[in-house]
Amino acid sequence: MALLTLDEAKRQLDIETTAHDVELQLYLEALAPVIEGYIGPVENRIVTETLTSHGASLCLRQTPVVSLTSLTPVLDGGAALDVATLAVDTVTGVITRRDRFLFCPGPWTAVYVAGRGTVPATVKLAAAILLQHLWRTQYGAARGAVGGGDDYAVTEPVAGFGYAVPNRVLELLEPYKMPPAVA
């Protein structure tokens, strides 16, 4: 699953030839890290990470969570817990035990799938607009108004994104924004 296919990108940019396909593929590959930096994983991926217990819960770092594959204590060669005995909040990544017992301090190894399963339409549109914005930079001032007349102008940097991501993209992604992290 990709945020945008090559054909979708070419339609967005009104490109009808294959002359820019290699360069365009580089732009397409650059979209996911930018968008996922704001809303978390979009494309499903298997994640393996080491966690420390907080007593009643464990917290996965990459959300949203599609499914939990395994949860195994690292010390003493412990056996994996039956994932059917665990509850996973797919939005926050918090794992709790259905029997309400506490987790031993750990560490624990969690294997899970993070992502969204499908790309929501607004995320796909945000990716298309971001692609169009980034693609236009290769032409400089020759292909657009300078000094704020450009519909894709980013006049104020957004915290953490600089000038690379237009506000319209961030507004489309807002409903999917990651919850604040807990330190």
49 shares a domain with 103: yes
Spatial distance between the Cα atoms of 6 and 12, rounded to a whole number of angstroms: 10
pLDDT at residue number 145: 44
Cα 167 vs. chain centroid, distance in angstroms?
18
159 within domain boundaries: yes
Taking residue 88's Cβ as centre, other Cβ atoms within 10 Å add up to 20
181 within domain boundaries: no
Q: Is the pTM of this model over 0.75?
A: no
- Furthest CA-CA distance within the chain: 65
pLDDT at residue number 78: 78
Cβ-contact 122, 42 below 8 angstroms? no
Spatial distance between the Cα atoms of 150 and 143, rounded to a whole number of angstroms: 10
104 shares a domain with 49: yes
33 within domain boundaries: yes
pLDDT at residue number 34: 92
pLDDT at residue number 79: 87
What does the block give as tokens for 38? Answer: 């704001």
101 shares a domain with 140: no
Given a cut of 50, the residues of the chain with pLDDT beneath it are: 144-149, 151, 183
Question: Is the torsion defined by CA of 20, 2, 31, 135 positive or negative?
Answer: positive
The amino acid at residue 117 is G
Taking residue 29's Cβ as centre, other Cβ atoms within 10 Å add up to 11
| End-of-domain residue from the set 114, 145, 167 | 114
12 shares a domain with 72: no
pLDDT digits (tens, 9 = 90+) for 46-61: 999 999 887 899 999 9
- Helices (H) and strands (E) counted in the chain, each on its own, are 4, 6
15 within domain boundaries: yes
| End-of-domain residue from the set 84, 114, 144 | 114
Domain carrying residue 88: 45-114
1 within domain boundaries: no
49 shares a domain with 109: yes
Angle at 89 between CA 87 and CA 92, to 5 degrees: 145
pLDDT at residue number 29: 93
172 shares a domain with 122: yes
User: What is the domain count for the chain?
Assistant: 2
pLDDT at residue number 132: 94
| End-of-domain residue from the set 114, 146, 168 | 114
Radius of gyration of the chain (CA): 21
pLDDT at residue number 2: 75
pLDDT digits (tens, 9 = 90+) for 1-38: 578 999 999 999 999 999 999 999 999 999 999 999 89
Cβ-contact 124, 3 below 8 angstroms? yes
